[in-house]
Structure 1
Amino acid sequence: MALPAGSPPCSFVYTTDRARSLPFYADILGLSRRDENPFAVTFDLGGGATLQLVSLERHEPSPHPVVGWTVPDIRNVATLLAAKGVAMQHYEGMGQDELGICTHGESRMAWFLDPEGNCLMLTQLG
Structure 2
Amino acid sequence: MPQIEPDDFVALAQAGFTTVIANRPDAEVEPTHRSDVMAERATRAGLTYHYLPIVPGQLGPDQVARFREIMDSSPGPVLAYCRSGTRSATAWALGQAGDRPADEILSAGRSAGYDLSHLGPMLRR
* TM-score normalised by length of structure 2: 0.31
Q: If each structure's helix is expressed as a fraction of its own residues, which one has the higher value?
A: 2
* TM-score normalised by length of structure 1: 0.30
Q: If each structure's strand is expressed as a fraction of its own residues, which one has the higher value?
A: 1
Structure exhibiting the larger radius of gyration computed from Cα positions: 1
